[in-house]
Amino acid sequence: MENTLPTADSADSAQKPLPVLVVDDDDLFLKYCNRILDDRSFAVDMAEDGLEALEKVLQHDYEVILLDLAMPHMDGIACLKRLQERGCGAVIIMVTGGGDVQTAVEAMKWGAADYIEKPFDQEGLLSRIDDALSKRKQAQDADSGELSREPVVAYIQQHATQINSRQDVAEAMGLSLDQISARIQVATSQSFRKLLHTCRLKNAMQLLETTEIEIAHIASRTGFATVQHFSRVFSNIVGVSPRKYRQQRRLGYPSSAL
């Protein structure tokens, strides 16, 4: 497969390097990954265990995290769960040694995008990263659908999990609160709050369908202050509780359309 990741001799020298965090307690492995990724113009950061990785994620936004399964202090699965609880948006690829493949597969239920077995070569790693990033983009495109031509609505569609109030949108768009409400009403016939909830629930439905993340964590990750509020809004708009929705999707019922 032709690799589409940035290279050091890329014609587009202005392309911003993709930030990558490599998490492993093996110093030689960290150096090996750093050499592979640095040669392809990634911005590489490293952590020696899960606890250090969590600290770094609080300080930086990474596009990709390579996360080893077997580490001291906090193993890869525990770290993965903590990252998901915190709403980490990075593509997470689990790194496994011999005998850990089943655990790596289990990690994908918690939101890992893929796994790769040691030892691997340069092209194998770059291919996995490329595939994972491509799949995330496809999922985001399918989930969000076509963005509205109304800039205010499109902004909410893209940033629903980070928006708390009309004021956030008003400041970002340089408009008044009344202008925000009026433009949403004209474009969607909805209130600001109803549009925000609908956009958040699209993200929540995807997580319910494709992961085993606890419902309370999905609520937090999609922008709701409490799981009770999330469940109430979900039931009012979708027609069933989040738990029931997940059960129905497991049984093959069609997905509810928002």
pLDDT per position as a tens digit, 41-92: 799 999 999 999 999 998 888 999 999 999 988 989 999 988 877 777 789 9
- Pairwise pLDDT comparison (7 vs 186), residue with the higher score: 186
Tokens of 54: 């969590």
Query: Is residue 81 a part of any domain in this protein?
Result: yes
Distance, in Å, from the CA atom of 72 to the CA atom of 76, rounded to the nearest integer, reads 9
Instruction: Tell me if 240 sits within 8 A of 258, measured CB to CB.
Output: no
Mean pLDDT of 111-125: 89
Portion of the chain with pLDDT greater than 70, in percent? 88
- Give the domain-ending residue among 124, 142, 160: 142
Query: Is residue 5 a part of any domain in this protein?
Result: no
| Same domain, residue pair 64 and 118 | yes
Instruction: Give buried/exposed letters for 55-74 (b at 16+ CB in 10 A, else e).
Output: ebbeeeebbbbbbbbbbeeb
Q: Which domain range does residue 159 map to?
A: 145-250
pLDDT at res. 27: 94
User: Quick one: which H or E segment has residue 22?
Assistant: strand 19-23
Segment 151-165, tens digit of pLDDT? 889 889 988 988 999
Q: 């595939």: which residue's tokens?
A: 131
pLDDT at res. 140: 60
- Give the domain-ending residue among 142, 159, 190: 142
pLDDT of residue 143 exceeding 70 = no
| Same domain, residue pair 151 and 231 | yes
pLDDT of residue 5 exceeding 70 = no
Beta bridge partners of 95: 68, 116
Over the chain, what is the mean pLDDT? 85
- Give me the number of domains the chain comprises: 2
Letter for the amino acid at 123? E
Query: Is residue 1 a part of any domain in this protein?
Result: no
Would you put residue 73 in left (φ > 0), alpha (ψ -120 to 50) or beta?
A: left
| Same domain, residue pair 161 and 240 | yes
- What is the residue-wise DSSP string for 55-118? HHHHH---SEEEEESS-SSS-HHHHHHHHHHTT--SEEEEEE-TT-HHHHHHHHTTT--EEEES
| Same domain, residue pair 60 and 77 | yes
- Pairwise pLDDT comparison (16 vs 30), residue with the higher score: 30
pTM above 0.95, yes or no: no
Displacement of CA 27 from its chain's centroid (Å): 27
| Same domain, residue pair 165 and 230 | yes
